[in-house]
């Protein structure tokens, strides 16, 4: 289209004011406010102008578009004024899915959150004496019960914004200006650009790599220790495994080296379970308590991974070291608010009471293959009359969130296909449902793992599947 023709067409568009003041728009103004209506009209007209300049709208097209402008504005308003962050149904079987918000929160945690944050609270107030208090007190008291009698030294726990912040704070406090010894096989990158060497640089500590990618021995650490050494660091590999010709000192051996040289030993556990993973069939994955019992002085871990709580970074360990971290000015910059404390406190209280099933991530991990299978069979029966072909089969759920990369739980999957639709089309249709349902695709079929679907969502999933390809 020539410039001339397009500017002629642009002339045909009404002004924002002219549209917004039409009588049919008045109810929208009453409902959403005139300013929002004007903004929505502006967006719709801007889109039309662009389509005209790009030559995709001819005279007839404009005529049609202007005829439908009321609906277009309404749709724009719905989009502008609705939440972008919304709940989805996770049918992927990945329990701690970083893209889907990691751990779902316990109902008791949400009740406590609402109760504590909708008004004022004693976040930093000691009610008895009526004096200023410390916010960490609310959770440290629970950790005292979760980590009893670990060793001769008293333990404390503090909370920061996430585990990345916890590692930064720990390295800066214990090793600023000095060296930190780490195995080459542990210089990991965790999703979302958390790289140990980068965090080390930001903390002003100097990385001293020892060993090789696949093998590091105690003697490698011993040889690297010098007068500038401040800390020995062990990092959980989280998202990969080294297999074959490998060697890594046991954490107890590292603790002995640290002891001998009077150095602190820190472990970035990442996931940091507060329960025994052997109970759900996952071996060789140390809990926070295991790590502390092995002689690690400071353990860092996330609040929203295996712990099943809010986004947070926890630092548990020797009270004298934790106390230095609390006095570091970085701690003030990284501290968390009352929302996090409330959710964390209620989640930890569930652990203290051994009420594991009230923490959704723990409940999901503890479901047996048969529990999931029964629900899948029921769902398959309800879909028998639909146009989908549905099969229930064996598979694996993933813990995710950087638990051991091989940490899988046996499960039963619903495998879905449709004569006229590709797996991508089925998955896209399920994502369009309200609430959106997220699945995975393998070998041309859509797979749903009900382990991560809340039982009360099963009927919604059935409705969405029934609507697919109708
Ligand atoms: C997940 C993870 C982190 C980052 O934790 P965030 O809470 O996401 O900041 C750091 N280190 C390890 C080993 C991890 O697994």
Q: Ligand 1: distance of its center to the CA of 167 in Å?
A: 9
- On whether the CB atoms of residues 436 and 91 are closer than 8 A, the answer is no
Closest ligand 1 atom to the C-alpha of 238? Answer: 15
Of 404, 407, 141, 433, whose CA–CA distance to 270 is shortest? 404
- On whether the CB atoms of residues 184 and 339 are closer than 8 A, the answer is no
Closest ligand 1 atom to the C-alpha of 235? Answer: 13
For residue 366 the two structure tokens come to: 């503890």
Mean pLDDT lowest for which of 37-46, 137-146, 231-240?
Answer: 231-240
Q: Model confidence at 6, in pLDDT bands (50, 70, 90)?
A: confident
Q: Ligand 1: distance of its center to the CA of 457 in Å?
A: 30
For residue 296 the two structure tokens come to: 């690690």
What proportion of the chain, given as a percentage, has pLDDT over 90?
A: 80
pTM for the full model?
0.90
DSSP line for 205-274: -EEEEES-SSB--HHHHHHH--TTEEEEEEE--TT----SS-B---HHHHHHHHHHHT--EEEEEET-BS
Closest ligand 1 atom to the C-alpha of 164? Answer: 9
Q: Is the CB of 313 under 6 A from ligand 1?
A: yes
Q: Ligand 1: distance of its center to the CA of 193 in Å?
A: 10
pLDDT tens digits, one per residue of 81-135: 999 999 999 999 999 999 999 999 999 999 999 999 999 999 999 999 999 999 9
Q: Is the CB of 203 under 6 A from ligand 1?
A: no
Q: Ligand 1: distance of its center to the CA of 163 in Å?
A: 5
Q: Ligand 1: distance of its center to the CA of 230 in Å?
A: 22
Rounded to whole angstroms, the Cα distance separating 371 from 175 reads 48
State residue 27 phi and psi, 5-degree precision.
-60, -35
State residue 117 phi and psi, 5-degree precision.
-100, -10
Q: Is the CB of 303 under 6 A from ligand 1?
A: no
């Amino acid at each position: 289209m020539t410039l001339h023709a397009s500017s002629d067409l642009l002339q045909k568009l009404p002004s924002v004011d002219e549209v917004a003041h039409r009588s049919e728009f008045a109810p929208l103004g009453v409902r959403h406010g005139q300013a929002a209506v004007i903004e929505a009209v502006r967006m719709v007209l801007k889109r039309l102008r662009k389509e005209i300049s790009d030559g995709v709208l001819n005279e007839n097209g404009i005529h049609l578009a202007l005829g439908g402008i009321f609906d277009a504005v309404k749709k724009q308003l719905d989009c502008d004024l609705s939440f972008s962050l919304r709940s989805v149904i996770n049918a992927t079987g990945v329990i701690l899915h970083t893209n889907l918000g990691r751990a779902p929160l316990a109902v008791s945690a949400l009740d406590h959150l609402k109760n504590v944050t909708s008004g004022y609270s004693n976040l930093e107030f000691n009610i008895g004496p009526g004096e200023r208090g410390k916010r960490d007190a609310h959770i440290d008291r629970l950790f005292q019960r979760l980590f009893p009698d670990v060793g001769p030294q008293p333990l404390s726990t503090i909370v920061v914004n996430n585990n990345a912040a916890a590692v930064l704070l720990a390295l800066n406090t214990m090793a600023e200006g000095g060296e930190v010894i780490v195995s080459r096989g542990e210089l990991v990158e965790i999703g979302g650009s958390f790289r140990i060497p980068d965090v080390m640089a930001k903390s002003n500590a100097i990385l001293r790599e020892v060993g090789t990618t696949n093998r590091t021995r105690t003697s490698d650490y011993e040889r690297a220790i010098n007068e500038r050494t401040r800390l020995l660091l062990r990092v959980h590999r989280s998202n990969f495994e080294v297999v074959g010709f490998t060697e890594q000192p046991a954490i107890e051996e590292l603790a002995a080296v640290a002891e001998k040289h009077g150095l602190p030993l820190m472990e970035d556990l990442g996931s940091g379970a507060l329960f025994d993973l052997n109970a759900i069939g996952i071996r060789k994955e140390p809990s926070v308590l295991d790590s502390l019992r092995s002689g690690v002085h400071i353990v860092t871990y996330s609040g929203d991974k295996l712990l099943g709580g809010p986004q947070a970074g926890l630092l548990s360990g020797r009270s004298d070291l934790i106390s230095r971290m609390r006095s570091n000015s970085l701690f003030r910059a990284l501290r968390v608010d009352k929302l996090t404390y409330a959710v964390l406190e209620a989640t930890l209280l569930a652990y203290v009471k051994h009420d594991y099933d009230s923490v959704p991530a723990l409940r999901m991990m503890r479901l047996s293959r048969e529990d999931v299978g029964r629900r899948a069979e029921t769902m398959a029966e309800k879909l028998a009359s639909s146009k989908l072909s549905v099969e229930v089969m064996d598979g694996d759920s993933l813990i995710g969130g950087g638990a051991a990369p091989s940490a899988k739980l046996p499960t039963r999957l619903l495998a879905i296909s449709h004569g006229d639709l590709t797996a991508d089309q089925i998955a896209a249709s399920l994502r369009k449902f309200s609430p959106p349902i997220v699945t995975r695709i393998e070998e041309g079929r859509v797979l749903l793992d009900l382990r991560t679907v809340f039982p009360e969502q099963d009927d919604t999933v059935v409705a969405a599947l029934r609507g697919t390809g109708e």
